[in-house]
A and B are shown apart, each in its own frame.
Chain A
Amino acid sequence: MRDFLKTGVPFIWLTGGALAICLLMIAGLVALVLYNGTGFFWPSNIEAVTLKDGQKAMGQRWDRQEIPASSRTGSGQFRIQLKVGNRDVYRSDFRWIDESDIQATQYPKDAVVFERREWGNFYGFIDALYERETRVSNTWDVLQDQLDKTRALHEQIRQIEEDAIGDLNRQIEALRLKKREIELGDGNADDMTAIDRESETHWASYEQLADQLAQLRAVNEMYRVEVRLIGGEVQQIATADIVRAHRPNQLGLVGKVGVYLDRVGEFLFDEPRESNTEGGIFPAIFGTVMMVFLMSLAAVPFGILAALYLREYARQGTLVRLIRIAVNNLAGVPSIVFGMFGLGFFVYGIGGSIDQLFFAEALPTPTYGTGGILWASLTLALLTVPVMIVSAEEALSAVPSDVRAGSLALGATQLQTILRVVLPGALPGILTGIILVIARGAGEVAPLMITGVVKLAPALPVDGIWPFFHLERKFMHLGFHIYDVGFQSPNVEAARPMVYTTTLLLMGIVLALNLVAILVRNRLRKRAGGPTF
């Protein structure tokens, strides 16, 4: 054994083992997220179990695990977790069942999952479908047809609520603020009565819209399904409350894929429901993209500017070396410190001053003096500017100085040399830096939490209302969505798959961006042949 140790082979194996463990961890993490993130939308079969004591339960299997030794009572080793849904009836979405208690498991063909707008999923059987009070035959087809119509009606209702009525609200609010401004100013009574008259007309058109809404809602609520729970209780659900209904036990592979894609589409392009635990995450995707865009807009040009100065104009000496080290190290300063700065400087400092100067009529409600997408983006821009400077500098220094000398010798000015020779040569490296900046910005959450991200933003930062970009608005973000739904949501268990899916999305975006950056950089380095350390 001693000889064996002397060869050093076991130690080499240990080092190799360490690398293998690192790789295993990465693979494990990716696999875990992939497994949990992709499975959520799959319409798995509905199990109806009969327990030995005669009780029945029906739902989709969620988990199966070994019963912990401490709480083991029967002879069974495993228990299953069923998502039984029907939160309004059972109070909880989930139920643990010891396998030893199960007498029989069936997969009833006509079991239906209803995805509802409120109260989560409903699992049951359809007894009948009613249009007002009359019973409709050919239930399933009419139901699907009606669900399509409901979807359209919902879109119509949403449009009236958000666009038309929202528009009116904004106009009324604008009038109120104008009135307040006059009050703060000269207090001209004629102007004020004119404003009052104008807002009355708005109120009148509001009444009209409200009537229209009520009619639409009445149409929407005409159909009701009578459903039976596994326990035999009968309930009625308005089709207006149902997003989707399907019978997974009857669906073939194609049908299941259809439902799967439908749900993925909903996830990517729809608004969230039930405090973010259901529905889509479109606002979070949009918020993340917009924030990253604004951040890059600020970080990239300034980062390149600073790099150009450091590399091309500054006299290389101790001071520049120190600055370089400082900038380099700024990239390592905890992001939360940048967040604090953003809160203190942008939100309270600049935002507070803007409010005092330009939005005095809205005070004490802050306009810019509270977190918003602009402040969050600027904060992240500060955080990522060092990354940009470092990569841009690296790219600039990779451009051989002979090229510069050649350009200058041919009579170009320094600016011309930079713009036409140096920058084009450094472009791929700078692009890599931009990608790194974007990836860093997309994954960062801590500073955003205190500068403008919210769990649920009522409106997107871009819409059809003048001035189209609303940079003062709060926004949603994928990373914060993970934190919020995973840790702050009242129903963590039900929301967990949703979080895995968001995680998968965010991880995919960030890793893909980084992969591109790393590949480009490696290629460049190989070409430049410079030192890697």
Chain B
Amino acid sequence: MLAFAHVDSFYDRSHILHDVCLDVLSGEVTAVMGRNGTGKTTLLKTLMGLTDRMDGEIRLDGDDLGTKPTFQRARAGIAYVPQGREIIPDFSIRENILMGSFARNDGRREIPALVAELFPYLMNNLERNGGVLSGGQQQQLAIARALAADPKIILLDEPNEGIQPSIVEEIENVIIRLNRDVGLTVILVEQNVSFVRRAAHRFAMMEKGRVVASGEIGELSDTLVHRHMAV
């Protein structure tokens, strides 16, 4: 289990997250929801140690993660698929995928069979540069890179943002498969309520850097959605 306890997070002097408490259960999809600018991305970045400073505790199966540097959190089994993908444009698809394998603890550097099964297009174009791919393909590549780390937990930051509608469903199905078939724990930042209702077991609603509501997905009522997500 991954547990945030009274987490505050900062960029320079900007105080972004306030007293966040959240439990992410193993084997589940936890959706983080809320309007733009409420701290969803910062929550993931704080978990990866990519903000400037944090207070409070983050524990993974009892281990204190909050004081560790970013690369050790990755090696503890947390893989990050950031918003905007952050593919390296002049690395080949192969190099981009294998970048994830630096987080493996057994030192193996290989493309997992799962990636080959999920993303045949990537496997057939391993020597092409990451930068020439479309948004949807880059999203697949970012997920493949995360899977190359052989992670326990995968963090997905708005995986369907800026992707053409025909690919969205494909990516949604991949995410559901990663949880249901592969058994990965997923933290999903997402604004699409119907996808969240399909994919997630639990949700956390954010407002002004705080978690204002959380619970099982059945408790995600339309009034709650309306109150915290309507623009």
Q: Do A and B come from one complex?
A: no
